């Protein structure tokens, strides 16, 4: 297993990047976002300067350069990996993030529907039940979606 070091001097959405690795069939066995720090639960930005990322007693500190990524692959995937990293857009959400957003928005609709259950039509009740089932299924597995 080889650790490939790449640099991406841009914001990264780790969940979306993992989805992109899967779509391109370039899934690494491990990813270390060495030159990044989290700025939200969905977004990482590169360090501004070289930073210490680990200290060891009696050994030199481990540092990382801005935008440094460590990816574990059996061999270097080369140009396809470079293309994938260059095309990454941190503003695009992963499938699980889209589901989270949809569930958060639906929570208010759930409450309103169940507070006013007696005033809903049969179709509205069916829609409310389906959305509740969808949300419950994702509580157990975030990748689940019921159409």
Transcribe 86-114 into DSSP letters.
HH--TTSPPHHHHHHHHHHHHHHHHHHHH
What percentage of the chain exceeds 90 in pLDDT? Answer: 49
Number of residues written out for the chain = 147
Pairing of strands 36-38, 44-46: antiparallel
Report pLDDT digits (tens) over 65-101.
999 999 999 988 989 999 999 999 999 999 888 888 8
> pTM higher than 0.85 for the full model?
no
Q: pLDDT value at position 122?
A: 92
Q: How far apart are CA 133 and CA 139, in angstroms?
A: 10
Residue 28, pLDDT > 90, answer yes
The residue ranking higher by pLDDT, 139 or 113, is 113
Q: Lowest-pLDDT range, 14-28, 80-94, 127-141?
A: 127-141
Computed over every residue of the chain, the mean pLDDT equals 88
Local confidence band at 144 (pLDDT 50, 70, 90 cut-offs): low
Local confidence band at 136 (pLDDT 50, 70, 90 cut-offs): confident
Residue 60, pLDDT > 90, answer no
Q: How far apart are CA 147 and CA 144, in angstroms?
A: 10
Q: Do 38 and 102 meet the contact criterion of CB atoms below 8 Å apart? A: no
């Amino acid at each position: 297993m080889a650790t490939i070091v790449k640099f991406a001097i841009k914001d990264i959405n780790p969940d979306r990047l993992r989805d992109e690795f899967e779509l391109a069939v370039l899934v690494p066995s491990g990813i270390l976002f060495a030159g990044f720090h989290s700025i939200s639960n969905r977004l990482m930005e590169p360090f501004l300067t070289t930073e210490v990322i680990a200290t060891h007693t009696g050994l030199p500190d481990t540092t990382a350069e801005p935008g440094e990524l460590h990816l574990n692959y059996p061999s270097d995937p080369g140009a396809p990996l470079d293309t994938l990293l260059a095309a990454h857009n941190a503003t695009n959400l992963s499938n699980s993030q889209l589901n989270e957003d949809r569930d958060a928005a639906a929570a208010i609709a759930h409450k309103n529907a169940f507070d006013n259950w007696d005033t809903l039509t049969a179709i509205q009740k069916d829609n409310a039940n389906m959305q509740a089932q969808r949300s419950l299924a994702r509580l157990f597995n975030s990748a689940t979606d019921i159409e």
